[in-house]
Structures are given as structure tokens and as C-alpha cells.
Amino acid sequence: MIEPVLALGGSAETAMTLAEIGALLLGLGVIAFVAAKIRFSVVPIYLLVGLVVGQGGFGLISLSQDFLDLGAQIGAILLLLLLGLEHSAPDLAKAFKERKSAGFFDVAVNFIPGAALALLFGWGPLAALALGGISYVSSSGITSELIRESGWRRSELSRRIVTILVFEDLALAPYLPLLTSLVLGLSAVAGLISVSIALIITGIILIISYRGKAQWSRILNPDVPSALLLTVFGSALLAAGVADLAGFSGAVAAFLVGLLLTGEVANTVRGRLGSLRDLFAAIFFLFFGLSTNFSDLVEVFPAVAVLVVFGVAGKFAVGWWIAKDMNDKSMWVRAGAFLTPRGEFSMVIAALAGPVVLSVSLQAITLSYVFLTAIIGSLVIRFIRSGFDRESK
């Protein structure tokens, strides 16, 4: 019976790959149980495991790069889709109106220092534009996971943090097409057209979400959850793919799809996609570790150390800004810790600009930066939680 199965399902190599994927997922599950037991975020542990078992470490995992890339992309799309489902355009518009000064403050203390450091290191203006974006954008995926794990998902602090994340994500709408145009050497007119299209798409979707939420609830029937799951998930993947082809952020497109849905429809989709999100999110976080090489970490460590100091300080400054009027004065520390991790968008920026920035290993710097900021943010959250637990006893 073994030979027909191999003939139908593929080769012995395929069977070995399936076994390797199964063992990997089993290991991630055990890690998640241990992390829950010690009450520590699983995100940096996934990153560390990927670093140890990948080709840059002991070489225990040799999965297809295409599989890892696709799994990581689906993980990012699901994380941003469900983040959009947690919120509505009217709520975000109100929050944006209240906190827009914090968004511009975020640009000043995170984008500008990153760009200035690249110029100081002599890497050139294109590297400065790329490193500014890498240092600026918090990881919506990692931050949302940390908020969910720590139980702050529906708090006022979470709403303020999400406002910053949305501001950053929407800022990428013109930024990514502009960076892409410069990397490809397109003309100023072509770059302007690309940016304009991105802004128009974002504006249209936000307007539809703001004014037409009841219509979507009538079109999508929550009483048929399987059809709803396929429709919404398929729409998010389609939107992300088309957006990437158009030079727009696929993750932002998935977030906007989630923002279109509210009420019972959003609740049903969240329930159905939650487990799928957890599966691909694990691959998404593991992917960063697998892509990192120990030798690269050592080589770029001096530059990364400087970038991390400025990056962490900048996000804690933003945390202070958005939480300074809250009764609990320690909230700014939590806000800064939640915003500190960089992730999916930083990797996208590095992938775009890395091949043309020849004076520095931009991708190695970004991988190290993502890893260290995720560790720091998670450790601070863990420390604050432990202190609260001690005070409550």
C-alpha cells in the first residue's frame, strides 16, 4: 500500500517534507504551551527557535523557501485582516482625529532618526529613505499578538495604540509606491501616479467602510459561516495579491478588507479565522528567525545596536505621548513596549531596497532589528505583568 500512496501523493521527498512540516508545527505547539505556562509572549520564542534551527544556525530545518515565504505572507495578511475586523472606520476616524498629533510625533522621533543614521553611516539617500521606514513602522502583527496575549485587546490603551498602528500603516500607502519607484528608477511622473493611485484606493475603501457598513451586513450572511469564511478570506488574499502587483501594501489591503466588515459578520469571521490566524502567524514569526544568519548578526551588530537604542527610545516617547493623560501613569511604559517591535513592514521595505543598497547589508540589519525589538518589547511586557501580579497579591 505504500507505493500507490507515494505514486498518488508524490515522492519520498514529498513525504519527508510533510513529516518535517508536521514535526515543525508540533514543536511550535509545544513551545506555545510552555510560553503560556510561564506567561511569556510566544513571539520572540518563535523568532529564537527559527534562528537556532534555520540554515544560519544548526541547519535542522531545510524547508522550501517558497513555502516559508508564502506561509509568512498569509500569516501577515491574516494578522492584519483580523486587526481590521476588530475595528470600524467611524471609531478609527474619531481616534485619528483625537490622536493625529501623536502620529506626526511618531514620524518625527522614529522615521527621521533612522534616515539620519543611514546618512551618518554614509549609506546614501536611498538607504536613508529605506532605513527611515524600517525604523519607523511598528509591527502591527507582533503588536496585535502581544496585546491579545496580555489581555489588553479591548482596552482604551489598545484603542490608542491601534490608532498609531493605523496611522503608520496608512502612511505606507504613499511611502511604499514611492520607494518602489525610486528602487526601479522610474520617472517622477510614474512615481507620482503610483502614489496617487494608492491614496485613492485607500480613501475609497475608508469612505465605503464609513458610510456603507449596513449594506455589507446584508450582502454577507453570517448564518452560512463556511461561505462567509471562504468569501472573506478569499477577498483578503485577492486584495493583497492585486495590491502587491500595483505597488501597494498587501497587508494594508487586507486590513482595509477587514475594516469593511462590522457587527455579526465581523464576529463570525473572527471566530472562524482565529485558529487559522494562529497557525500561519506562527509560521510568519518563525520565518524571521529562519531567515537570520548568526554571522550576519555579528557583522551588523554595531549599526543595529545604535538603531535599536534610537528605535526603542522613539517608541517609548510615542507611548508617553499617547498615554500622558491617562490616570495610570505607568500606561506609557506599556504603550511603548507594545509599539517597540518592528516586523512585517520593515521586512517588506528591506526586501524592496536591499538589492540596490550595495553599501550595507540592509536585509541583515532589518532581520536583527526586528528580532531585537521584538525581544525587548516582549520582555518589558512580561516584566510589567509580573510586577502587577506581585502588587495584586
The pLDDT of 82-103, averaged and rounded, is 73
The pLDDT of 42-61, averaged and rounded, is 71
Give how far Cα 180 sits from Cα of 80, 214, 246, 254, 312, Å. 22, 37, 10, 20, 27
CB of 385 within 8 A of CB of 39?
yes
CB atoms within 10 A of CB 96: 17
The pLDDT of 319-331, averaged and rounded, is 86
* Amino acid, single-letter form, for residue 38: I
| pTM check: above 0.75 | no
Terminal CA-to-CA distance of the chain, rounded, Å? 61
What are the cell numbers at 43? 513571539
pLDDT at 319: 94
Q: Answer yes or no: CATH 3.40.50.720 is held by domain 39-392.
A: no
Cα separation, 367 vs 390, whole angstroms: 35
Cα separation, 100 vs 171, whole angstroms: 12
What sign does the CA torsion over 217, 220, 225, 231 have? negative
Cα separation, 137 vs 117, whole angstroms: 16
Give how far Cα 316 sits from Cα of 5, 169, 297, 342, 380, Å. 56, 19, 25, 13, 11
Q: In the structure, what pLDDT confidence band is assigned to residue 305 with cuts at 50, 70 and 90?
A: very high
Q: Render pLDDT for 110-165 as a digit per residue (tens, 0 to 9).
A: 999 999 999 998 888 888 999 999 999 998 778 877 887 777 777 788 888 888 88
Task: Name the least confident of 146-150, 288-292, 337-341.
Answer: 288-292
pLDDT at 195: 64
* Most confident region among 66-70, 190-194, 211-215 by mean pLDDT: 66-70
What are the cell numbers at 174? 504613499
* Most confident region among 100-104, 197-201, 277-281, 318-322 by mean pLDDT: 318-322
pLDDT at 198: 63
pLDDT at 388: 47
Who contacts 12 (Cβ-Cβ below 8 Å, separation ≥6)? 6
Length of the chain: 393
* Most confident region among 146-150, 244-248, 384-388 by mean pLDDT: 146-150
Give me the residue spans of the domains in the chain: 39-392
Q: Is the pLDDT of residue 309 over 80?
A: yes
Who contacts 140 (Cβ-Cβ below 8 Å, separation ≥6)? 79, 80, 83, 165, 168, 169, 251, 255, 343, 344, 345
Q: Is the pLDDT of residue 307 over 90?
A: yes
What are the cell numbers at 208? 465605503
Cα separation, 388 vs 393, whole angstroms: 9
Task: Name the least confident of 11-15, 53-57, 232-236.
Answer: 53-57
Q: Render pLDDT for 4-50 as a digit per residue (tens, 0 to 9).
A: 544 445 577 777 777 877 887 888 889 888 887 876 777 778 878 88
What are the cell numbers at 339? 509599539
Q: In the structure, what pLDDT confidence band is assigned to residue 320 with cuts at 50, 70 and 90?
A: very high
Cα separation, 196 vs 334, whole angstroms: 36
Give how far Cα 212 sits from Cα of 196, 198, 215, Å. 24, 21, 6
Task: Name the least confident of 267-271, 348-352, 356-360, 389-393.
Answer: 389-393
CB of 77 within 8 A of CB of 278?
no
pLDDT at 115: 94
Task: Name the least confident of 139-153, 175-189, 262-276, 367-381.
Answer: 175-189
* Amino acid, single-letter form, for residue 202: T
Q: In the structure, what pLDDT confidence band is assigned to residue 392 with cuts at 50, 70 and 90?
A: very low
